[in-house]
Structure 1
Amino acid sequence: MVSWIKEVFDTEKPIIAMCHLQALPGDPDYDATGGMDKVIVSAKNDVIALQEGGVDGIMFSNEYSLPYLTKVETVTVAAMARVIGELRSFVKIPYGVNCLWDPIASLDLAAAVDAQFIREIISGVYASDFGLWNTDPGKTARHRLRIGAKNVKMFYNIVPEAAKYLADRDISEIAKTTEFNNKPDAICVSGLTAGSETDTQVLKVVKDAVRKTPIFCNTGCNKDNIERQLSVADGAICATTFKVDGIFENPVDYKRVKEFMDIVKEFRN
Structure 2
Amino acid sequence: MDVRCEIARFAKERWVGLRCSEKGRDGRPLIIRYMGGGRFPLKIDGPSDIVKLMRRYGWLDPRAFYATANIYRNLNSVEDVSDLSNIVSCTATWDIDNDLEGWKDTIAVAKQIVSFLEDNGISQSVFVKWSGEGCHVHLHHKSISPELAGRTNPLDLAYTLVEYVNLKLNLKYKTLTSNSFSSRLVVENEMDPQRLFSCPLTLHSRLDRVCVCISPNDLDRFTPEWTLPDGYRHYGGWDRYVVGEADQLASRAYETVGPRPSKPKLKKRRHLPLDVEINRFMRLKV
Normalised to the residue count of structure 1, the TM-score between the two structures is 0.28
Normalised to the residue count of structure 2, the TM-score between the two structures is 0.27
Higher relative contact order (CA 8 A, sep 6+): 2
